Amino acid sequence: MRRRSIGFNRLLGPIAVVCAPASLSSVNQGFVVPAAHASAQSALQHTVLGPAIFAGVGVHTGAHVRVSVRPAPTDTGIVFVRTDITDQDNRVPAAAEAVCKTQLGTVIGNAAGVTVSTIEHLMAAFATLGVDNAIVELDGPEMPIMDGSSEPFVQILDQAGRRQQDAPRRYIEILAPIEVVDGDKSAKLLPSSQFEVAFEIVFDSPVIGRQAVDLVMTEDAFRTELANCRTFGFAHEVEALRAMGLARGGSLENAVVIEGDRILNPEGLRRPDEFVRHKALDAIGDLYVLGAPILGRFEGRLAGHGINNQLVRALVAQPDAWRIRTFAPELALAV
Ligand SMILES: [Zn+2]
């Protein structure tokens, strides 16, 4: 696994962020390159082979939710469907402009105001396992938190299997740096021929301190380096959230909880730097609302769901900083 130290360049100030960007398809044209530049597996879109059905509890609502991940046609993207809602539009496509809250996880919504919360850990699994198209039916407002990581979703998608589809996968190739800065937080995308994810966190906590991770983000790297890293929180924050009616489903079963200089979970950490690895996992899921995998390098510093989505919106608003690339051989021949 290639690693390198992170060198973050600070910009002079925050860049403008467009709040209602156009969709990707309307701001950039397709671009085709020879198939030799990509493996056959990654050149075409994929969906799940069969339905994957599971259930669990939402970390904030505490609601027990049943989920069915189903195959979807080419160019569908990832679409959440609230089966508990029948009197208004219950389809919520995962898209950059659909992200409506980022305070305690990523929430997407549609024009009818129907929302789905805490999508990021499943989205990270879709992104890295190469699932372009899927319908995610759920009968409640929030995705189950499972164990607080992406590993259960990886296992569920493995059980469902994947099916190659007859359409080229579209990659977002970063051509020029895009950065969002908010105080000491920053998130940026830089040109690279592969998807790389680097993250750095600094917490005034002896349990966390400064942690950094820098990975070439292949499917294997996600499985071995990030997938099982859990979300985390501080005991005093959990109490405050509960007082606000949030974190109702949160427990030591689905989050690492820190109190002072110790971790309350009896099993301890899965990795010494589980915290920063989970932040990298979150960023991968948050970027995938773009609807396509990225050929480029992500660098996050102290970033969270909010600034990740600001970066996504900044990208959509700067169409000259990226282009869509495909690697499908049939299209290369047609050029
Ligand atoms: Zn998370």
Full 3-state SS string of the chain: CCCCCCCCCCCCCCCCCCCCCCCHHHHCCCCECCHHHCCHHHHEEEEECCCEEEEEECCCCCCEEEEEEECCCCCCCEEEEECCCCCCCCEEECCHHHEEECECECEEECCCCCEEECCHHHHHHHHHHCCCEEEEEECCCECCCCCCCCHHHHHHHHHHCEEEEEEECCEEEECCCEEEEECCEEEEEECCCCCEEEEEEECCCCCCCEEEEEEECCHHHHHHHHCCCCCEEEHHHHHHHHHCCCCCCCCCCCCEEEECCEECCCCCCCCCCHHHHHHHHHHHHHHHHHCCCEECEEEEECCCHHHHHHHHHHHHHCHHHEEEEECCHHHHHHC
CA distance linking residue 315 with residue 119, whole number of Å: 20
Is 305 annotated in the active site? Answer: yes
CA 119–ligand 1 middle distance (angstroms): 9
Instruction: Say if residue 128's pLDDT is above 60.
Output: yes
* Lowest mean pLDDT, pick from 11-20, 96-105, 106-115: 11-20
More confident residue, 34 or 270: 270
Q: How many domains does the chain have?
A: 1
Instruction: Say if residue 258's pLDDT is above 70.
Output: yes
CA 269–ligand 1 middle distance (angstroms): 15
CA 308–ligand 1 middle distance (angstroms): 12
Closest to 226 (Cα-Cα) out of 248, 195, 267: 195
- Pairing label, strands 64-70, 115-116: unpaired
pLDDT at position 279: 97
When pLDDT is cut at 50, 70 and 90, the band that residue 277 belongs to is very high
The boundaries of the domain holding residue 112 are: 24-334
Report if residue 7 sits inside a domain: no
Closest to 200 (Cα-Cα) out of 286, 285, 275: 275
Instruction: Say if residue 35's pLDDT is above 60.
Output: no
Token pair of 86, please?
A: 């029948």
Instruction: Say if residue 154's pLDDT is above 70.
Output: yes
What mean pLDDT comes out for the span 290-311? Answer: 96
Give yes or no for a contact between 148 and 173, defined as CB atoms under 8 angstroms apart. Answer: no
What mean pLDDT comes out for the span 156-169? Answer: 95
When pLDDT is cut at 50, 70 and 90, the band that residue 321 belongs to is very high
CA 105–ligand 1 middle distance (angstroms): 7
Report if residue 234 sits inside a domain: yes
When pLDDT is cut at 50, 70 and 90, the band that residue 127 belongs to is very high
- Residue 94's CATH number: 3.30.1700.10
Report if residue 135 sits inside a domain: yes
When pLDDT is cut at 50, 70 and 90, the band that residue 248 belongs to is confident
Q: Which of 46, 60, 121, 305 is catalytic?
A: 305
Identify the burial level of 78 via C-beta atoms within 10 angstroms of its C-beta, where 0-12 means exposed, 13-18 middle and 19 or more buried: buried
Give yes or no for a contact between 203 and 114, defined as CB atoms under 8 angstroms apart. Answer: no
More confident residue, 184 or 6: 184
- Say which amino acid occupies 248: R
Taking the CB of residue 20, how many other CB atoms lie within 10 A of it? 8
Which residues line ion ligand 1, judged by CB < 5 Å?
Answer: 231, 282
CA distance linking residue 105 with residue 121, whole number of Å: 9
More confident residue, 103 or 318: 318
Instruction: Say if residue 178's pLDDT is above 60.
Output: yes
CA 121–ligand 1 middle distance (angstroms): 6
pLDDT at position 242: 80
CA distance linking residue 160 with residue 157, whole number of Å: 5
What mean pLDDT comes out for the span 53-59? Answer: 94
When pLDDT is cut at 50, 70 and 90, the band that residue 330 belongs to is low
Report if residue 247 sits inside a domain: yes
Report if residue 1 sits inside a domain: no
Instruction: Say if residue 63's pLDDT is above 60.
Output: yes
Report if residue 9 sits inside a domain: no
Question: What is the average pLDDT value for the chain, to the nearest integer?
Answer: 86
Report if residue 225 sits inside a domain: yes
When pLDDT is cut at 50, 70 and 90, the band that residue 91 belongs to is very high
Instruction: Say if residue 70's pLDDT is above 80.
Output: yes
* Lowest mean pLDDT, pick from 125-139, 171-185, 280-294, 319-333: 319-333
Report if residue 119 sits inside a domain: yes
Give Cβ neighbours of residue 199 (< 8 Å, ≥ 6 apart). 212, 213, 214, 276, 279, 280, 283, 299, 300, 301, 303
CA 325–ligand 1 middle distance (angstroms): 29
- Say which amino acid occupies 224: T
CA 167–ligand 1 middle distance (angstroms): 31
Give yes or no for a contact between 239 and 264, defined as CB atoms under 8 angstroms apart. Answer: no
